[in-house]
Structure 1
Amino acid sequence: MSNDAFIEQNRRNWDDRAGLHAQATTGYRLDRYRDDRSLLSDVVDFDRRYLGDLSGLKVLHLQCHIGTDTLSLARLGATVTGLDQSGSSLTAARELFASVDTAGRFVESNVYDAVDALDGEEFDLVYTGVGALNWLPDIARWGRVVAALVRPGGSFYIREGHPMLCTLDDERDDTALVVKYPYFETVEPMTFDQADTYVDTGGVAVAETVSHEWNHGIGEVFMALTNAGLRVTTLDEHRFLEWRFFAHQIEADERFHLPDHQIDMVPMMYSMAPDKPS
């Protein structure tokens, strides 16, 4: 299969997930955002310490899914555009924004085609949330897209699962940390056939079960952005995850950590914040 075919199969997988994720009381529990008009997603609530004041800024959210993080950026004062290749995800995002009387624009496009889809528009901040890069086969090409979307003097921010974490076997019955998958970007993807997704769906299974993923080392992500003309000013590695990856992780404050004897052994996530020189 070609990369285009892999990406298309992933789109179908995410179209199927979107309806399950957009439930009122399961999935992403969207009713929380309707009941509390000040609520931020856990992801953006953590990231805001890196983002600074968003009041009045034009913000583009790449791979926005059903829009909970996009809505949170709007609630911090940004004028938001969300972009995703899943039409079903964007339908859910538009419905969420309409239900809370919040302005937002949503554009359906593969991330690699974002520059054309947005007619070359540039943004004060381009934002990518958790769980995005693993769906992309070519990180260098991604870096060029990101750089083209950031205005001179603007910035980019991403928080993502750490590529070292993504090498580890998460299906073991014991607590050993064992490398199973490649750390560096590979030509062929890792292909998975799974009927479940990463949130509670009320027992409903995903119908389009096959998906394809790629890992990208920290150096590969860093060089993709710097070779495209961005300047990385922040790179932090984190000891927690937003979701349970290992069965033996400990939940605290709605995040998941390894137990004390392992907590310093493997980074779970990272934040990277480049800017574009004026």
Structure 2
Amino acid sequence: MTAEHIAANQANWNERATLHAARDGSGYEVQQFIADRSALSEVVKFDLPLLGDITGKRAVHLQCHIGTDTLSLARLGAHVTGLDFSPHAVAEARQLVSETGDAVEFVQSDVRLAHEVLPNGAFDLVYTGIGALCWLPKIGEWAEVVAALLAPGGSLFIREGHPILWAMDETLNDDLHLRFNYFEHDEPLEWDDDESYVETSAPLQSTKTYEWNHSLGEIVTALITAGLRIDLLVEHDSVPWEALPGQMVERTESEWALAERSGVMPLTYTLRASKPL
């Protein structure tokens, strides 16, 4: 990852943070968390059956964006710190919890340096949500950070877009088309798009971004190499946005599945890993 890649991605996410935090019903519809102090994000609601009871756990949410999933973890009883590389996202997250009253701390940092700004071995839960790993050039670096942050006996929980989904060309809607790298490569994929993945009140101006894919095997192996034990790996046939436009149906209020080819490929996965005592 070069300084150019970092600067472009950060500029893009700074803009997204402001648009996603709008109070006009667009973006992440954050007003629902202010109006209803028991509301949970749809992402965390989906995670609940596999996440389990997190009451009293010391948790860190890596790549937390504007904090809607982060405050949802706090509402489930965890003591939560959120971390993101975007200063605008951290500012919006802090503003949001100041309005909701949720006790969440937010820290600005590149996730690859999280172990340098947060106490090592201090967290019972490392949580990462949808659309995070594709912004990281080396999955091994991330796995080492996760292992450093976890206390002995602590767990990683992640639900993420499946790498086979990231390898699909979403611009072709006549069928499923594998077009991009499934495996990790040094050179990123370059994108230029003025739209976000949720409805926003204005187009993006910082449109260029850079992403990297990591195979499921590379992710699992990186965590094992970092000293963690894989406890659960579940693949899902739905994803919380219309990832392949024109080929999906809305299954629930927040989950989309393939229409004609339902079940032919995984769209997301949930992985739990733990640090041995």
TM-score normalised to the size of structure 2? 0.97
Give the alignment of 1:143-222 within 5 angstroms: 143-174=143-174, 176-202=175-201, 204-222=202-220
For the 8 Å contact 2:13–2:89, the answer to whether it is kept is: yes
What is the match of residue 241 of structure 1? 239
Structure 1 CA distance, aligned partners of 2:121 and 2:154?
Answer: 13
Letter in 1 for 2:154: G
- Could you report, residue by residue, the CA deviation over 1:151-184 in whole angstroms, capped at 9, with x for unpaired residues? 001100100000011111111141x111110100
Which stretch of the first structure deviates more once superposed, 214-223 or 247-256? 247-256
For the 8 Å contact 1:167–1:182, the answer to whether it is kept is: yes
- Could you say what secondary structure the match of 1:223 adopts? helix
Q: Does 1:35 align with 2:35?
A: yes
- Could you say what secondary structure the match of 1:188 adopts? coil
What is the match of residue 262 of structure 1? 261
Letter in 1 for 2:88: S
Give the alignment of 1:1-278 within 5 angstroms: 2-24=1-23, 25-120=25-120, 122-174=122-174, 176-202=175-201, 204-246=202-244, 247-254=246-253, 255-259=255-259, 261-278=260-277
For the 8 Å contact 1:151–1:276, the answer to whether it is kept is: yes
Please state how far the C-alpha of 1:128 moved relative to its aligned partner. 0.2
Which stretch of the first structure deviates more once superposed, 8-17 or 230-239? 8-17
Does the C-alpha gap of structure 1 residues 23 and 105 become closer, same or farther in structure 2, counting only changes over 3 Å?
Answer: same
- Could you report, residue by residue, the CA deviation over 1:240-265 in whole angstroms, capped at 9, with x for unpaired residues? 01000122200121211112x41121
How many pairs were matched up? 274
For the 8 Å contact 2:194–2:207, the answer to whether it is kept is: yes
Please state how far the C-alpha of 1:120 moved relative to its aligned partner. 2.8
Does the C-alpha gap of structure 1 residues 4 and 142 become closer, same or farther in structure 2, counting only changes over 3 Å?
Answer: farther
- Could you say what secondary structure the match of 1:233 adopts? strand
For the 8 Å contact 1:3–1:137, the answer to whether it is kept is: no
Structure 2 CA distance, aligned partners of 1:205 and 1:92?
Answer: 19
Aligned-residue sequence identity (percent) comes to: 46
TM-score normalised to the size of structure 1? 0.96
For the 8 Å contact 1:115–1:121, the answer to whether it is kept is: no
Structure 1 CA distance, aligned partners of 2:252 and 2:268?
Answer: 16
Please state how far the C-alpha of 1:121 moved relative to its aligned partner. 5.2
Structure 1: tracts of 5 or more residues without a match: none
Structure 2: tracts of 5 or more residues without a match: none
- Could you report, residue by residue, the CA deviation over 1:64-99 in whole angstroms, capped at 9, with x for unpaired residues? 000000010000001110000001001110111110
Please state how far the C-alpha of 1:101 moved relative to its aligned partner. 1.0
Structure 2 CA distance, aligned partners of 1:173 and 1:237?
Answer: 23
Please state how far the C-alpha of 1:53 moved relative to its aligned partner. 1.2
Structure 2 CA distance, aligned partners of 1:4 and 1:109?
Answer: 15
Letter in 1 for 2:204: V
